A and B are shown apart, each in its own frame.
Chain A
């Protein structure tokens, strides 16, 4: 392989892929959500544009692209414009650290399916996901309007509270894997022969609940509760800026699902990687297993949304401070103790 290809074309291709991949997933997710929720509710959902309506999100994006960008006169121009970018940027940047599969060997060249492998990848992703909340806060505040402001306020409290259990549960994974490197965590699950989700079910459940809350999804969709706050923090946004918020939300969901799969369900590993009788499952490329698992968790998001009513603000906070944080603390201590003794 020539140096030009290896040093230039492949990195550029990877960078393009890391932007395209979340976008494609977002489009699929938007379509999946609207279709699945519709079918659960006895409706049809979008089924006109393209096969079974798969191109509906594209049509919506085109529509939003041509819509007028409206900004309130009293809005803070800089923050108003920067916040959708901030949200989108942090969601997309995090995908650089998400491994999509095992490295592929092409001759002497090893193609890694991630852009950056960092020994603290997990921390970076958590950090980036916290940055996206700044976009929400700035957006809500800069709109200079009351519903967005209330949405932003709710968002601050919610995301800050739910980051604590997320951090504590992520730590248990790092303890067991003895690494914060996402690729390494998957490899450890392969060598130990058990997915951490089954090893530490409490960690997984707490992480998943907190992750749903952090992505502002039903039943924790308080910052954008439609029947209360109209659209919450992005009420005043229109056109492409709104589309940024909208896409970032779905990209965030894809990111969180990827994280759950990597931390708790073996990333690109097929089911029961250590069982010899099931070794034929290795025929299916790792990337496909990975996608299947992500799709399952994305489906779970949709399923939860179609089932539950919305939490109220106080019970949401009570849930995290009275239940999830103590639970994750105990869980953390137990895992630490077990790790120390073994």
Chain B
């Protein structure tokens, strides 16, 4: 007698749905037939909320979107507003922004490494990843006082300068991370169980990945060289020398490797930015009440999760008429069913982990 197909409800209270995601699964014994993500449990009406706030007041709220990588959200929004208002950001501020954004990428990828390894059952890696991330968060704490929801970038520049002591501290931290990573990699890279759980699992071909609108490391793991930092440089990314790591097979293992490699590239960028930190102002002159000339703008940046876009429409007042967000996690989540179909139930958590989604950004 064949096993009856059953509907399995995963989440919103489930240990590995990364927050409040709910998946409606149809499984035949252990084989996944359908995956339907149900979202909205963390919806806070952010986009509507922003219409009633001034341009400056919106920035701290963007922290709450992708709370694992708050600074990247700040940067995305701030860049869009600056583009619309025609604010020229000083070169030093641009460099500091790159340092902060790349440190944020480090923190986000390290947290992701821990989460994903925990989903696959390597519980110690969670703690090791968080231990390394902690150092980066300490830098943020010293820089602006906050660790998670940092609000570390302001319209026109950055709120604080990077002084000598902090630069030295950043250097020690980024020097220490490869050593910590090497330790973690001895547990995973060549581990038979880990490879059995990741190699050839959740494959998405390059063409399908582009069709689904997949962005970020998950797209590059399928071998598509698309990185906004390289292709449409913003801030001062065009001044730095770094590589865009690419995967070949588009499976979970490649997504794991691409993110690991990105950690090393981020460290490279931070080093270069610190070495060539130009002197000068850290913020442009921005009026206290910022009134943006009427018009609309769309600006994209590369966050740790993928391509984050902000559409800002101004009507000439101090409040935006509309802010629309193209959130990478939301779009990346679409491809989950494609990756999971035909795989085993256990793989769903691994694949979901490898996509690196954050519910704050999906539900907005």
Contacts and interface: CB of A to CB of B under 8 A. Distances in A.
Interface string A194-213: 00000000000000000000
A227 B127 contact: no
Nearest to B17: A227
A14 B23 CA distance: 53
28 contacts: A37-B123, A40-B124, A41-B126, A146-B8, A147-B8, A150-B30, A150-B345, A153-B29, A225-B121, A225-B346, A227-B15, A227-B349, A228-B348, A230-B14, A306-B124, A307-B187, A308-B121, A309-B117, A309-B120, A309-B188, A309-B193, A310-B120, A310-B121, A310-B193, A310-B197, A311-B193, A312-B344, A312-B347
Given A225-B121, A227-B121, A313-B30, A41 B127 contact: yes
Given A40-B124, A150-B30, A306-B123, A228 B345 contact: yes
A308 B197 contact: no
Contacts of A107: none
Contacts of B344: 312-314
Interface of A: 37, 40-43, 146-147, 150, 153, 218-219, 221-222, 225-228, 230, 305-315
Contacts of A219: 121, 193
A172 to B, nearest CB: 26
Contacts of B128: 41-42
B127 A43 contact: yes
B6 interface: yes
B6 A312 contact: no
Contacts of B347: 312
Contacts of B127: 41-43
B196 interface: yes
Contacts of A230: 14-15
B194 interface: yes
Contact of B6 (A146, A221, A225, A310): A146
A314 B200 CA distance: 14
A130 to B, nearest CB: 23
Contacts of A146: 6, 8-9
Contacts of A42: 127-128, 131
Contacts of B123: 37, 41, 218, 305-306
Interface of B: 6, 8-9, 14-16, 29-30, 117-124, 126-128, 131, 187-188, 191, 193-194, 196-197, 344-349
Contacts of B121: 218-219, 221, 225, 227, 308-310
Contacts of B8: 146-147, 150
Contacts of A40: 124
**Most-contacted residue by chain A among B8, B9, B30, B118 (CB, 10 A):** B30
**Most-contacted residue by chain B among A42, A146, A228, A311 (CB, 10 A):** A228
A225 B21 CA distance: 19
A104 to B, nearest CB: 43
B345 A315 contact: no
B187 A312 contact: no
B194 A309 contact: yes
Contacts of A314: 344
B349 A228 contact: yes
A43 B187 CA distance: 18
A321 to B, nearest CB: 15
B278 to A, nearest CB: 38
A222 to B, nearest CB: 8
A50 B79 CA distance: 55
Nearest to B348: A228
B249 to A, nearest CB: 18
Nearest to B121: A310
A174 B332 CA distance: 57
Contacts of B15: 226-227, 230
B345 A41 contact: no
A309 B30 contact: no
A307 B29 CA distance: 29
A227 B124 contact: no
A310 B16 CA distance: 14
Given A225-B121, A227-B119, A312 B16 contact: no
A312 B124 contact: no
A141 to B, nearest CB: 14
A230 B197 CA distance: 19
B349 A311 contact: no
A37 B124 CA distance: 8
Which 5 residue pairs are nearest across A and B when measured between Cβ atoms? Answer: A310-B121, A41-B127, A309-B122, A227-B16, A309-B121
**Most-contacted residue by chain A among B8, B126, B348 (CB, 10 A):** B8
Contacts of B131: 42
**Most-contacted residue by chain A among B9, B30, B121, B194 (CB, 10 A):** B121
Contact of B197 (A147, A153, A306, A312): A312
Nearest to A219: B193
B279 to A, nearest CB: 40
A312 B117 contact: no
A230 B14 CA distance: 6
A146 B25 CA distance: 12
A177 to B, nearest CB: 34
A226 to B, nearest CB: 5
Contacts of A315: 193, 196
